[in-house]
Every structure is written in C-alpha cells, then in structure tokens.
Amino acid sequence: MSDITRLYFKPVATFFLLFTCYYSAHSQQNKTYPASKFPDRVILGFKGDPAVSQAVNWRTDSTVTNAVAAIYEATPSPDFVPKARITNANSQPTVLDGKTVIYHEVNFTDLKPATQYAYRVGDGAYWSEWFHFTTASSGNEPLSLLYFGDAQNDIRSLWSRAVRGAYSTLPKANFMIHAGDLINRSNNDYEWGEWFEAGGWINGMVPNLAVPGNHEYFTDTDKQEKVSRHWRPQFALPENGPDGLKETAYYIDYQNKRFIFLNSEHATINAEELNKQAEWFENVAKNNPKRWLVVVHHHPIYSTKKGRDNNEWRDKMEPLYKKYKVDIVLQGHDHTYGRGLNMPVGQSRKRPDGPVYVVSVSGPKMYDIGLQDWMDRAASNTQLYQAITIDENKLAFKAFTVNGDLYDSFELIKDKKGVNSLVELSNSLKMQELLKLPERYEKSFKEEELKQYNERYQEYKKRKGLK
C-alpha cells in the first residue's frame, strides 16, 4: 500500500471505527423489545392464598385476543401435556409508546398446598415453554426469599448478574422481593424489556413481589403523579391494599409469616395520602396472627447517605413498626448498603427495641455512603443481593456481593413471647467492609468533602473497634 493510500484510509478507518462504536452504544440504549404472537415477559405473582393459588402474567402483540394458560401437577413423564387444565386469561390491551400490546393474566386456583405444578401460557397455537412452580405449604413451614434493592440502570448489562447470581445462590427460594426503582424511567418500554430479559425464565419459576419507587412514577398531563403505565398491566400482585393503591401497597401471608408492602413514593404526595397508608398499615399489623412480620418499601426510614432524609415518613411509620413488633424492614433508594438498628451508640444491640433496618442496592448506580450511627454493617460501590430464610423461631439474613461472596450475616432468634435477640455474624466473616467511595465521587468531591468523609470513616471504624 502506498503512502498516499495510507493517508487516505487511516482517517476513513478511524471515522468508521468511531461511528461503529457510537452506533453500537446508541442502538443498545434504544434497543426495542417488540411484542409478538409468542408469549414473553412471563412472570409469576400472587392474587390470593399462595397455598392454593398461583398467578401468572405475560405479554403478546395485539393480535392475540383469546389467551389461555395450561396447568397440570408436575410429573417426570411428558405424557401430561394433553391432560393439562386450560384456563382462560383476563386480557388487557395497553397502549405503550403509541403501540397496542396485550397483557394477559391467569390466577390458577383450587391447587394443592406444597405441590409442584407445570404450566405454560399462550393462545392454543403459540405457546411458551413449560415452567414449574411449587405452591406454599398450608402450615408453619420454613420459607426462603431473595431481596433486591434498586436495579434501575444498565439493567441488561449489569443488573442481570445480580438476579442470576441470586437464583444460583438460592434456586429454591419461595419468592423474590424488589424494593422499588426496578427501572430508571417509569414508562420506557425498553427498560422494562431489559428488566424482564435480565430475569428471563427465572421470573416464570419464582414469584415476584415488588413495590414501586420514585422512578416508577411520572407526572401525567393532568399534573398528577402516577405509577408507571406498565406497572399494573405487567405484574400479578395482591389487590388488598388501600383505596387507589391496588398492586402498589398490599400484604401477603406465606407459611405463618406476614409481609406488608408499602408505597412510600405515593405517601410523599401529601399528608392525607401518608395518613391513609399509615392507617391501613396499622389495621393490617394489629390484626396479624402470624409469628413474623416483614415490611418492604422503597424510601428508607434511616438513610445511608448523609444529607438525605425521609423524616415525615419515619416520624409516621417507625412508631407503628415498634408498636406492632415489625421484625425487619427491607428498603432501597440510597444506592449503598446499610444494616442496623435505631439504638443509641454504645448500647448493646443484642436485644433490639425495634426492627432491623436494611438498605441495599442490586444495580450499578452508586452513591457515596454516610456511615451513619444506626449502621452496623455497610458497603459502598458494591452490587448486592440478599437471601433470607425464616422458620418458626429464627430469621437468618445473608447479603452477598454479585460475585457470590458472603458480605453480611445475622440472625434474629424469637423466643416464646415473641421477643427477638440479634446474633451478629458479620464480625466473623473473612470479607472486610467495602467502604471506598465510587470513583466519580473521589474525582468530583472537593477537598473539604473528602476530609469530612474520611472523618466519618474513622469514627465508624472506631465505633466498631476496627483498625
């Protein structure tokens, strides 16, 4: 090749390389997930008693108007297929991004407790694969669950390793909990498409229970804050919550444990909405015959980030949590990890006088951590998921990094009177706390901000007796 040819081709090649990189990034950002006749976004949820029912939701294009689901008690033989019971779906046309898609939902009823079933969804010609699920026991059996803080950004590329790693850690989980901000922009279909792609077939095997965060909300043309247009069509969730908050605030009883899901974002609209939800919570909590009580919402009672606070939410809800003996509160929003108790510094943590509070993050968006006094274990710039098991007398909590390392661990032991003792297990872990600031904060923080963070870091280590 001559020198003249090289001079010509070098800038051209450089241009095409840059164009390819830009186009790849741009097309990835705007990837679409078109619906078709084949079912997609198959996801399990609950509409009734999980011991005798199981709900499923899925999506197709607008041509599938007569959707059905087939179910049969699972068997190792494939001969069950023609014997499967067919149930008609409740189909809901939904206009999203100017296109009509149809979400379909079936609630399988009259099931046997503690029994594995096979099911598929479709229209009789275009079917999904067969999935398996297992109903809850009707008794006081142990349960296990997976809990995720905010997924929110880079869902397909980076959050996928959280949900898939969690399933690999605890494949027999009874269900998964998502504490809000599942995506970044409430009505962006491609972001929901990424969320469903990341979870994939896991969503069709393990039920999902979610609450909306602030990023699931948008301001409508009537200037009212509303939950994503995707939310109710695509999730099958209980409808036993306060008026106007169907499938965004609800509760479910599962094997003698009660789980209450609250819509903390809606509660920020005004005092009336906050009071309405608090009143509903109190009614559900005081009439609770179950031995364990778990609460889930997006905004933390105590923040992990300095300068962020949800004082109106805390002032209203924390007294109720203590009054009705909530055991643990699972939260998101702050994009760091913190776990601890609202007890004075220096006081023994062995007998909690209220719930254990957890804030976690499963996606890649990271904030700086405040290292507040309520925190007994913390993490900065770290994607995590949590595995929780609960039996009659013990709640065992484990937090894992997305590469599978055990990062935090404790147990709550409940005595015959219902009083909890906390067994701290994190001090014996090999893994040191990950408290380094995200790189963008190290670069953007002013000298005084870095000084303040380092002072808080030294105070935190001193309080915990770390060198």
pLDDT tens-place string over residues 135-153:
999 999 999 999 999 999 9
Is it true that domain 143-461 has CATH number 3.40.50.12780? no
- Of 104-108, 117-121, 227-231, 424-428, the range with the lowest mean pLDDT is 424-428
Mean pLDDT of the 64-73 span: 97
Q: Report pLDDT for 29.
A: 52
| Pairing between β-strand 292-296 and β-strand 328-331 as defined by DSSP bridges | parallel
CB 183 within 8 Å of CB 230: no
CB count, 10 Å around CB of 378? Answer: 24
In whole angstroms, give the CA distance from residue 345 to residue 361. Answer: 25
In whole angstroms, give the CA distance from residue 44 to residue 253. Answer: 16
Q: 0.75 cut: is pTM over it?
A: yes
The residue that leads in pLDDT, 96 or 77, is 77
What angle separates helix 311-323 from helix 271-286, to the nearest 10 degrees? Answer: 10
Q: Report pLDDT for 24.
A: 40
**Is the pLDDT confidence value at 43 over 70?**
yes
pLDDT in tens, 350-377: 999 999 999 999 999 999 999 999 999 9
Taking all residues of the chain, what is their mean pLDDT, rounded to a whole number? Answer: 92
**Is the pLDDT confidence value at 14 over 50?**
no
Per-domain residue ranges for the chain? Answer: 40-134, 143-461
Is it true that domain 40-134 has CATH number 2.60.40.380? yes
With pLDDT > 90 as the criterion, what percentage of the chain qualifies? 85
